[in-house]
Structure 1
């Protein structure tokens, strides 16, 4: 449970909707034409313009050691807090709070808790992460904001690829259809680490495009981790609480 808690903290779950109803996936759009130099600005225009969002979701985690499915409640105050509550068989087994400064979680099986910065998460996932990068990943946006970046843009007529060339040590590439991000790739060849995030389906509600499913594959020297996330329902712009308190008697852990 400790391993899945930590990974689901940083690859948490997000969906965007204005009413609390089931999320319906739509068929990916095949673009009739691909914008040129203005594509990046057009992509960001009006996207994810919410203040808070609450989500109910399910996730499946697979690595060399385990195969586990959980459900989760996620509450986000944009750019400030990501709150995550993980349940197994209907019982809350872990909670987490992510802020721009730190990550905190506790889990009930071993009665332990963790407090730390993003260095640990970066090591586990195979790419440098901070709050903004995690939030972008969850929202179906490029891991790093592409505005003002030095990029290379190509198209095959049905999709557009943007290579972030600002850091040659860590190549990043993003594939889009006419309006949505379909895949993010981050490579760290010197450290034998790769992160690939696919968005195979989107849903649209009142003009909002958001992922209906996220497929994540992280390759690292110790093996491979896969996470599949599905959104079940979401609610926008309501007043949210973020209840988090480590129970008495829990032991602090340090993850290497």
Structure 2
């Protein structure tokens, strides 16, 4: 994972893109995780219950405050976020100073503070976190779901601090993967990726969930990305959300901006 040194606005947008989701609306109910993990549940049973938690909605819009700590410096900002599930994720800073729009095919971004833009594939985001990303993986992270299909290979399960700890039976020596699944609603408590040889780590912790229109969704999220001695920590506070309303995704790269080129 190469922690790319971008301008402030660009880092904020990238970080937000990786971890934000739609919770915190006035009608939302906090989900109390009162379940108790059982040693009797098999890995297949845990996986089956987790896959039943897939969210069902068409669109949403929300506001979210992001705080980022990197190199002992903290910065924060509030963004608007809109999404059409499986099709578009759109982010906009205050006054439209920076915007990002991603689809299954493309990642696009511009920043009016630095007069720069990016229009390309997922390599930029993959480099930022050190894991090959695509639209589905990113969407799953935002929704508290496993980033890979858990049914594609056998897993081991154990109980760890009242979470179901899932890991592939045949761990990849180059990329170790761990999931912690909540015993109450079977969404993710934590996603952990380790690349020991390259001294890289990515961890996404879901501190709490909410029920929004009968959907169980992340409420508080923290992401930590580490490469050797470099560390980025991001926390989110979600505010207002509306689901399944008509949304627009305005996006136009201003003329005269400098293109961000990945080599």
- For 1:76 and 1:15, how far apart are their aligned partners in 2? 9
Correspondence for 2:4 = none
Correspondence for 1:128 = 132
From 81, 91, 99, the counterpart of 1:95: 99
Instruction: Determine if the alignment matches structure 1 residue 108 to structure 2 residue 112.
Output: yes
Contact kept? 2:37, 2:159, Cα under 8 Å: no
Contact kept? 2:23, 2:239, Cα under 8 Å: no
Distance 1:66 1:158, change over 3 A: closer
1:160 CA drift (Å): 0.8
Correspondence for 2:154 = 150
Distance 1:227 1:83, change over 3 A: same
From 16, 19, 28, the counterpart of 2:33: 28
Correspondence for 1:4 = 12
Distance 1:16 1:173, change over 3 A: same
Correspondence for 1:219 = 226
Contact kept? 2:37, 2:163, Cα under 8 Å: no
Name the SS for the 1:217 alignment partner.
strand
1:32 CA drift (Å): 6.0
Contact kept? 2:208, 2:220, Cα under 8 Å: yes
Name the SS for the 1:38 alignment partner.
helix
Correspondence for 1:207 = 214
- For 2:210 and 2:201, how far apart are their aligned partners in 1? 27
CA RMSD for the aligned pairs? 2.2
1:93 CA drift (Å): 2.1
Distance 1:166 1:241, change over 3 A: farther
- For 1:66 and 1:157, how far apart are their aligned partners in 2? 32
Aligned residues: 250
Instruction: Determine if the alignment matches structure 1 residue 172 to structure 2 residue 180.
Output: no
- For 1:151 and 1:255, how far apart are their aligned partners in 2? 36
Instruction: Determine if the alignment matches structure 1 residue 84 to structure 2 residue 88.
Output: no
Q: Which moved more, 1:120-129 or 1:163-172?
A: 163-172
1:165 CA drift (Å): 4.0
Distance 1:98 1:130, change over 3 A: same
Correspondence for 1:49 = 56
Contact kept? 1:16, 1:236, Cα under 8 Å: no
TM-score, structure 2 length as denominator?
Answer: 0.86
